[in-house]
Structure 1
Amino acid sequence: MKRVTFFVRPSGGKWKVKREGAEKEYRVCETKQEGVRVARILAGEFSPAQIIIEKEDGTFQQEWTHTNCSVLFEGRGRSSLKRR
């Protein structure tokens, strides 16, 4: 099964969360922390999944790849995410 990749990228002072191959971003967030939270929730819906996070200057910062995305939510409980 092919993994689904989500990116958290800076964009004009905000942070966009986008699924690889999508034409538009899924959500534009005010902070990187919020963008990572959104990406983790989205990744939890897919397995396997990958999240790639960039720094403010657009360079690579961190990557998570999981075959069982429930580990992204250990100790946090799962919450739903509605598209804005």
Structure 2
Amino acid sequence: MAKRESEVAIFKKINSIKERLFICTEREEIEALFDSEGIGNLKERIELLDQCMGFEEMANTPEELPIEQEYDFECEMFVEGTWRMLS
């Protein structure tokens, strides 16, 4: 039972982060949110950005990008905001 409660708590925390992420419109806001939640792992940050934008995974990329470049690209797409009209 404790494991289930822990899983529910994690699910609620992730949803709370995504709700607050949704209203971010500047890179600095995104960084501040992730920092305040202790999310330093770039893969985790990318996954949350993708979930918020409704993306499953990046398709048709010509090559694998270094994680830092991929994160920068994801942040640029998020801030640019076209995804908001598609979701």
| Higher Cα Rg, which structure | 2
Common fold: TM-score over 0.5: no
Specify which structure has the higher proportion of helix. 2
TM norm structure 1: 0.28
Q: Which has the higher contact order (CA 8 A, sep 6+)?
A: 2
